Amino acid sequence: MSSELIIKLDAEGEGEVIEYSVAIGDTINEGDSLLVVESDKASMDIPATRSGVVSKWLVEIGSNVSQGAELAMITAAQTSTQQDTIKAAAERAEIAAPEESTVATVQQVADSASNDAVGSREIIISLDAEGAGEVVEYSAAIGDSLSEGQALLLVESDKAAMDIPTSSAGILTKWLVQIGDQVSQGQQLAIITVTAEQTSIAARVTAAAVPVTEVPETSETSVTPQQKTVIATTTPVASINSSISAGPAARKLAREMAVDLSRVTGSTYRGRILKEDIKAFVKQQMLSVPSNTAVASAPFDEIDFSQFGDIETKKMSGMARATSAHMTRCWLNIPHVTLSDEVDITELEAFRASFKPEEFQLLKKPTILPFIIMIIAKALRKFPQFNCSIHPDGQQIIYKQYINIGIAVDTPAGLLVPVIRDADKMSISELVQQVNNLADRAKNRKLSAADMSGGCFSISSLGPIGGTGFTPIINGPEVAILGVASAETKPVWDGQSFIPRKKLPLCLSFDHRVINGADAGKFLGMVRQYMEQIGKIIL
């Protein structure tokens, strides 16, 4: 038997119906997106408040709706024990949107009281999926009580990140793999302890929700191992991590959008977080958060580029992903202004040419970068507004009494910014050694987290790569960064004739919340003066 239910708009405000998220006849779960309503401030996914089959729309595309409006009619089956079991399995697995399948093998390794209601047994969870990947995260902790279908751990391959679910309810007893391990088909992942009661419940849910294929029993020992293969979808299964309930699809979207799941409220049964919840959270953040709070932009629609020609997809390194997320936050949250100038470095280049490395225990002549670092350090002392950070509350400014300067280094793993500490207290030869040491360690992946923290100001130099200028992105929570382009010899009129002079383009990006244009001009003017009159650098 079934009953007709009407879904109403519970949200405050009003807007226009711009899109149906499902079609008539579709089966939806509680919390699934029903339709999209757009107001003059934002577009919102309106979730279904009950599970069932969509039988009729009560609003048309283009209709204006407000709180209490009747949106759709769904047919919901009456409650029964069997239907509740199926519903619970469906909510755990989000069966409505499977993406790919993983096969998990359950193997019994011990039985303390066979066929006894109060008995328990240990079960090994193995990976039966084709392919291989790296264990990047535990989704549960030793001692946790798990339900069938909850995520056990996260395996990342070169194609996707997959949550590997438990195939039976029980208590997690032991890990058989470590973070960073490479696993492949047949790999034993963990041991869980299962009671007879849990086994019985799990069998009923599995029978209702997913197909099960029994493997013939063997009798090699007195304790007969039994194996069964359970087919379970990777994306639909539940994910438990620090009390956060979210499926792999939602977790993947959260990683892409740099969203902290602990800040997202799930809209479904037991607070489970769906992709729609993450999208709604991002929309809300972009409309309402203070300018100093990190937010992320919504990703572009997925496009099948192979329809236009041959393609090759490569996995981003973990460092590259982290840099991408950080740069996105900095660009979105810091009002950038870039001031460009061109500095005459003819005299500085002549001084560098006369530099004798052996006199300072150096292997080769210094590049121009150590000189720029020393000049920036002096400028930061004179202009403290460039050596500060905005407090997270957005109401205070933190002025730093130390001068640590970061230098951007291009490495095979991505862009890294190691920090030279107390740069204002170093000589040119000491800065040369520091720059060379940090650059070598960066390229060999030997930098620690401490080596890349505590910066006050960053310098990004293109060196001989080329380019007449660019807009460097501020490395928040810093408030400024200097971009150095490629030097070029140009004819300069001295009043009587054109003479060759070497010009270096500089690009200063600054946070307009704490630095105004006049201050930026004075700062860059000091840098220009010191670079053009190199003798002043030691005064």
**DSSP states along 235-256:** TTSB-EETTEEB-HHHHHHHHH
Contacts with 219 (C-beta within 8 Å, 6 or more apart), sequence order: none
Read off the pLDDT of each residue in 172-190 and give the average, rounded to a whole number. Answer: 87
Whole-number Å distance between alpha carbons of 37 and 21: 11
Is the CB of residue 89 less than 8 Å from the CB of residue 209? yes
Return left, alpha or beta for 149; rule: phi > 0 is left, psi -120 to 50 is alpha, else beta: left
Distance between CA atoms of residues 391 and 267, nearest Å: 32
Cβ–Cβ < 8 Å for 272, 31:
yes
Give the mean model confidence (pLDDT) for residues 502-508: 92
Side chain identity at 497, as an amino acid letter? S
Distance CA 78, CA 70 (A): 22
pLDDT for 267 equals 77
**Domains of the chain and any CATH numbers:** 2-78 (2.40.50.100), 97-238 (2.40.50.100), 242-301 (4.10.320.10), 335-538 (3.30.559.10)
pLDDT tens column, 347-396: 888 888 887 777 777 778 888 899 999 999 999 999 999 999 998 888 88
Cis peptide before 98 (omega within 30 of 0): no
Torsion over CA of 37, 39, 42 and 45, rounded to 10 degrees?
-10
Most confident of 125-129, 228-232, 434-438: 434-438
Structure confidence at residue 248 (pLDDT) = 60
In this predicted structure, what is the pLDDT of residue 112?
A: 40
Residues 6+ apart with CB under 8 A from 162: 100, 102, 129, 133, 154, 155, 156, 234, 248
Residue 221 is predicted with a pLDDT of 33
Q: Are strands 457-461 and 405-407 parallel, antiparallel or unpaired?
A: parallel
Distance of CA 214 to the CA centre of its chain: 40
Q: Which residues pair with 190 in a beta bridge?
A: 125, 175
Threshold 0.85, pTM exceeds: no
Amino acid found at 510: F
Tell me the range of 92-106, 159-173, 286-300 where mean pLDDT is highest.
159-173
Residues of the chain with pLDDT > 70, as a percent, come to 73
What is the length of the chain? 539
Name the more confident of 70 and 238: 70
**Separation of alpha carbons 327 and 331, rounded Å:** 6
CB–CB of 419/475 below 8 Å? no
Tell me the HSE value of 114 on the side-chain side, using a 13 A CA sphere.
Answer: 9
* pLDDT(220) > 70: no
Q: How confident is the model at residue 87 (pLDDT cuts 50, 70, 90)?
A: very low
Q: Which residues are tagged catalytic?
A: 512
